[in-house]
Amino acid sequence: MRRFYFLLWLKWVAGVALSSILLACGISLLITALIYFNQGGASLSGEVYSALLEVFQFWFPISWSISLLIALFRRLKYIFNDCISGYELKLLACANESKRQGSSQELDVIGYGDLVKVWRRWFMLMIWLVGAMMIVALALTYLFTDYSGVFEWFSIYWLIAFVLLSAYFSFILFGSRCKRVKVVKC
């Protein structure tokens, strides 16, 4: 079971990281190009190129924050109905739909509308787990480093690492605690 959760998380992290970075690069490149053409589109000299690189570097963390939220929602759909190490996560129908049909029915075709309630619960669970990781990081910072607080070393990149790491624990809790998700053998 531990192997299932780890491989599920690894597949999910690869998809989230790749899609969010590509989307953030695209958004940052688009903003940089718009600024470049809005300023008159000067010939590309070394000075103009370094200015464009600074604009791109400024917008990348901002657009990565936005694209990470989009990737978190979009990639949640792909963790269901995928057999990994003999197990798979199944999304169940809503309570009022399953009452009409007599039992909890597994959804084979999952749309983004089916994921809204599940995503909200999962996202709140991840927020709490990231908060817990930050408290642990703060305690470890005080014990083992010369830093006096978390904001001396904390950045958006650490936050994204905490989000991706907390997803592993959230999948374990999600599969056992959420009523709309269950782990089945395949």
Query: In the structure, what pLDDT confidence band is assigned to residue 31 with cuts at 50, 70 and 90?
Result: very high
Cα angle: 100, vertex 181, 174; to 5 degrees: 145
Q: What is the pLDDT of residues 102-124, one digit of tens each?
A: 556 777 777 777 777 888 888 88
Q: Give the pLDDT confidence score for residue 143 in this predicted structure.
A: 85
- pLDDT at residue 96 in the model: 54
For the cut 90, the answer to whether the pLDDT of residue 23 exceeds it is yes
Q: pLDDT tens-digit profile of 127-154? A: 999 999 988 888 888 888 887 766 777 7
Q: In angstroms, how far is the first alpha carbon of the chain from the final one?
A: 13
Average pLDDT score over residue span 47-55: 90
Q: How does residue 166 score in pLDDT terms, banded at 50, 70 and 90?
A: very high
**Distance between CA atoms of residues 117 and 121, nearest Å:** 6
Residue 34 has pLDDT above 70, yes or no: yes
Show the tokens assigned to 114. 């089916």
Dihedral angle over CA of 36, 39, 44, 47, nearest 10: -100
- DSSP one-letter code for 107: P
From residue 83, alpha-carbon distances to 7, 60, 130, 176 in Å are: 10, 35, 28, 17
Give the tens place of pLDDT for each residue, 63-94. 998 999 999 888 888 888 788 888 888 877 76
Give the model's pLDDT for residue 48. Answer: 85
